[in-house]
Amino acid sequence: MIRAKNIYKSFGDTEVLKDISIDFEAGKTNLIIGRSGAGKTVLLKIIAGLLDPTKGEVWYDNVNFLELTKRQIREVRMDVGMLFQGSALFDFMTVEENVRFPLDMFTNLTKKEKLNRVNNCLERVNLAGNNEKYPSELSGGMQKRVGIARSIVLNPKYLFCDEPNSGLDPKTSILIDNLIRSITVENNITTVINTHDMNSVMEVGDSINLLYMGELAWKGNKDEVLTSDNPILQEFIFASPFLQRLRDSALQA
């Protein structure tokens, strides 16, 4: 479990996050949603330890992440996987080398053991047999799946996904969402997903946290989205007349 407590973040005079407190539970896909500029990425980067908050605490289970030494932070980070918006695959490495990178850095496994682990992860994301390809030879969806394989190769306890569906078609988006969710449930991972994709919200939103102008405006789950009367949530989720009609017909049914 990850707990963000009273997080504030400012850049100069601009206050981006104001008193955010959220519990991200293990074995669930925890979503952070909100409009562009709401502070989603900043919050995710603070939780992942890539940015320091101006004020507040981040707890990984019983460990206060912000009070750790650099060495301790590195140890905690070995339990962390992260999928980036642009996949962040190392373009000078093959798929296999990308996925093997954390194993090369942090384990003393033999070459054969590493290869087995890499192949298992690639199979898990339906990319078996693509070991020798370079990221530039893969589609956006395949790159995301390689990113997922790399992020789970060390069996992390915490998984962060920054806009995992950005730039993907709806079908591939659902595939990626379901893959992240099944990995989360199978391994009891604490997964935090930053998204503004409505398919993701309705597909895998075990726990949803809506940010609005740097504040936590609503929290709930995918079933409560339809019935909530929170105006900010309604305005965000059902932004188009088409979606509003869909919601109305769903509620009537």
Range 22-61, binding another protein (CB under 8 A): 45, 48-50
Q: Which of 160, 212, 218, 236 binds another protein (CB under 8 A)?
A: 160
The distance of closest approach from Cβ of residue 253 to another protein in the complex, given in angstroms and rounded to an integer, is 43
Q: Which of 8, 59, 101, 134 binds another protein (CB under 8 A)?
A: 101
In the shown chain, the binding pattern of residues 171 to 200 toward another protein, with x for contact by CB under 8 A and - for none, equals ------------------------------
The distance of closest approach from Cβ of residue 211 to another protein in the complex, given in angstroms and rounded to an integer, is 20
Q: Let me know if 222 is exposed, middle or buried by CB neighbors in 10 A (0-12, 13-18, 19+).
A: middle
Task: Give the interface size with another protein as a residue count (CB under 8 A).
Answer: 26
Q: Find tokens 């409560």 and name the residue.
A: 224
In the complex with another protein, which residue's Cβ is closer, 73 or 202? Answer: 73
In the shown chain, the binding pattern of residues 65 to 94 toward another protein, with x for contact by CB under 8 A and - for none, equals --------xxxxxx-xxx-xxx-x-xx---
- Under the binding rule (CB under 8 A), the answer on residue 105 touching another protein is yes
Q: Which residues bind another protein (CB under 8 A)?
A: 45, 48-50, 73-78, 80-82, 84-86, 88, 90-91, 101-102, 104-106, 154, 160
